Structures are given as C-alpha cells and as structure tokens.
Structure 1
Amino acid sequence: RNWMSQLQANAYCENPDIVLIGNKADLPDQREVNERQARELADKYGIPYFETSAATGQNVEKAVETLLDLIMKRMEQCVEKTQIPDTVNGGNSGKLDGEKPPEKKCVC
C-alpha cells in the first residue's frame, strides 16, 4: 500500500486533514522528490502543497497555518451539526420523559 492509504487506515477518521510538505527547498540537490512530482501528487489527492525549508523557515508557518485552518473548519462543521434546534422536529426529540439524550459525537 502507498503512504496515503496507510495514513487513511491509521488516521483519526476516514478523511483526515492533510497538507503535503516538500522539504529542503533551499537544497534542491539533496531532495528525494522534485517539486513537479510533489505538486502532481498533491493535485492527485486534492491536498495543499508547500515547499519548505527548515534552514530558512520558508513556508513553514504557512503550511502549519493551512493545516490548522483545515482542522478548525472541520471542527466548526462538527459543532454546527450537533447544534440542530429542537424545532426542526417539532420540539419532540423522540425521547421518553426522563430519558437521557444520546451522546453526540462528531464524525469526521
């Protein structure tokens, strides 16, 4: 299996938030994968791609911010899904009096 299927199989959910990072942008002769190949892979999976350099800090902050933005959007969607007003079903949630409401869980 390739790295993407391994990531999806072992991730916290079926469709995890992913940002592809090409490192050593400042040292092209030491790279294992060239930028064109990396961009094609990112396009194939529909994920953001950044060329980074730990030595210069190039795009490191931007890559982290992008990943955090993706995670925050997912969390906002989960919160919105769990806050459906009772008026949607006429105020009757289908529970008996005194019955505890089911625990709400966010699904990725």
Structure 2
Amino acid sequence: MLCFKIIIVGDTNVGKSCLLLQFTDQRFKNAHDTTIGIGFGSREIRIMDQNVNLHIWDTAGQESFRSLTRSFYRGAIGGILVFDVTSRLSFQGLVQWYEKIQSYACDDIELIILGNKTDLEEQRQVSQKEGMQFAKQYNFEYYETSAKTGLNVNLVFENLTKKIIEKVNSGDIDPSKENYGIKINKKLNKSKEEQKLENTQLNKQKNNTCC
C-alpha cells in the first residue's frame, strides 16, 4: 500500500479544516474555531487498483503561524491551494502560498487550485472563470467545492491521488525518496516533534472544529 502526504494551504477562514473533515469523516461542523498550528487527518482510498493511505496536513492560514508550519511542507507529494470564492483577498493570497510551496516542498509535488464555499453563491466575489484562468497560468487543475455540502470534495482528493500514482507508475516520481510515497509497512522517518503532534491531532480529531 502506498502512503502519500498531502498538504492543504490557504488563508485563514477559506475552509481548509472543513474540507479535511468532510473528506475524512464525511461530516461538516458549523461551529467555527481557527486552526492553531497544524491539523491532521487520514483516509484510505482505492485508486487505479491500488490502496492508498492519504496523510493530510491542514496548515494554519494565519501569518503569525506560517513560520511554524515550514517543516510540514517537506515530504509532501500533493498540495491543495484553497481560496474562498466569497473572498477576493484569499484568492489574491494564492500567489504567496504557491511561493511558500516552491520554497519548502519537494520539486515533484503535484498541486491543484480549489475554490471553496460554492454553497454561498450569492456572496461570490471570484468567478469560476477567474479561478480557471489562474490555475491555467500555473498549469494546474482547478476545482470548485463546498465543504458544507460535500460537492466535489472526494473528487478533488481522488483526482490528485490519481495524478500522483500516474507519476509513480511512469517513473517521474521515485517513491523511495522524500518519504512522500512509501510502502505503508515501512517506518516513516519522523522527528519526535512531528510524531508527538500527529498523535495529539489523532486523539483530538473528533473534537476539532472547522476553520
């Protein structure tokens, strides 16, 4: 079984934690708390006749916490850049998040752009066309989702996983490097800090609220 580390990045309040919760638990929480530091979730899916365990890290969006999350870019082979379609400011922030990924993630990381909160269509500030044009500029795929209704949430993670597997199968990605695609029975070389954080997040996952 393969294991992929996926990161979700974007400004605060774009719905990163809600996307994570919807994908891993198929549920949505209306209560709102801002994610402090790092959120974590996992789910096993079957793509292209392979079982894949996705380890998904939700990085905090606040500027004051960005420096704390740099180590968690390392080893990620998939990334989702999220903005809120009702917030033009969060859309404009995608460039900075992309630059962060370029600086700290591996060169082979597969990225997609995601416009969230389509259930708030009457408050939309960023059109679908704008989102598609931005993604095309960087040669990324573009999706629109609603973490509240679940619209396209599974599709995003499934298609991202498929693209990574295709790269592994073609030899474009070496699964023995960077700990981003490994056999699940091999030990991850995690720091004590990362392991402690992961265990804490797993224990508290069911009680987490959305960001």
Higher helix share: 1
Following superposition, the deviation at residue 70 of structure 1 comes to 1.4
Aligned amino acid, residue 8 of structure 1: Q
TM-score, scaled relative to structure 1? 0.63
Report the Cα distance in structure 1 between the residues aligned to 2:169 and 2:160, rounded to whole angstroms.
14
Report the Cα distance in structure 1 between the residues aligned to 2:173 and 2:131, rounded to whole angstroms.
35
Once the two structures are superposed, the pairs formed by residues 64-83 of structure 1 within 5 Å of their partners are 64-78=157-171
Q: Is 1:5 aligned to 2:99, yes or no? A: yes
Greater length-normalized contact order (CA 8 Å, ≥ 6 residues apart): 2
Once the two structures are superposed, the pairs formed by residues 1-108 of structure 1 within 5 Å of their partners are 2-11=96-105, 13-31=106-124, 33-78=126-171, 106=177
* Structure 1 unaligned spans of 5+: 83-104
**For the Cα contact (< 8 Å) 2:108–2:173, is it kept in 1?**
no
**For the Cα contact (< 8 Å) 1:19–1:49, is it kept in 2?**
yes
- Cα distance per residue 1:17-76 (max 9 Å; x no partner): 011111011112445633222111111011111110011111111111111011111222
Superposition misfits of 4+ residues, deviation over 6 angstroms: none
Name the larger-Rg structure: 1
Give the match's secondary structure for 1:18. Answer: strand
1:85 alignment partner in structure 2: none
- State the percentage of identical aligned residues: 31
Give the match's secondary structure for 2:119. Answer: coil
- Kindly tell me: are residues 53 and 73 of structure 1, through their superposed partners in 2, closer, same or farther at Cα, counting changes over 3 Å? same
Q: CA RMSD in A?
A: 2.9
- Kindly tell me: are residues 106 and 73 of structure 1, through their superposed partners in 2, closer, same or farther at Cα, counting changes over 3 Å? farther
Report the Cα distance in structure 2 between the residues aligned to 1:5 and 1:74, rounded to whole angstroms.
23
Higher strand share: 2
